[in-house]
């Protein structure tokens, strides 16, 4: 009976110690934060590029539409 209790205590203590060492002793603690920061920067750069491209497209199409409207209005007698 006592040896079973000692074995269970040893196994629980050993596994708890290993879990603590794995959680706090590893070098991968900041890996998720760094990956998230890189992903946020990539999305921010993509968003800025899309904004610039979208603004250029709208300005270009607006000036073309304005030119066409002026041409239509200027063709009268």
CA–CA distances in Å: residue 70 to residues 9, 27, 35, 66: 89, 67, 53, 6
C-alpha 46/C-alpha 52 separation (Å) is 10
Q: Provide the pLDDT for residue 77.
A: 47
C-alpha 5/C-alpha 40 separation (Å) is 51
pLDDT in tens, 43-71: 999 999 999 999 988 888 888 888 888 88
64 against 18, higher pLDDT: 64
Q: Provide the pLDDT for residue 41.
A: 92
DSSP secondary-structure letter at 66? Answer: H
Report if pTM > 0.75.
no
């Amino acid at each position: 009976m006592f040896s079973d209790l000692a074995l269970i205590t040893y196994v629980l203590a050993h596994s708890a110690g290993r879990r603590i060492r794995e959680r706090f002793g590893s070098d991968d603690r900041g890996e998720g934060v760094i990956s998230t920061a890189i992903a946020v920067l990539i999305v921010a750069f993509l968003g800025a590029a899309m904004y610039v491209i979208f603004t250029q497209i709208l300005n270009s199409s607006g000036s073309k539409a304005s030119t066409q409207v002026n041409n239509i209005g200027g063709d009268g007698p």
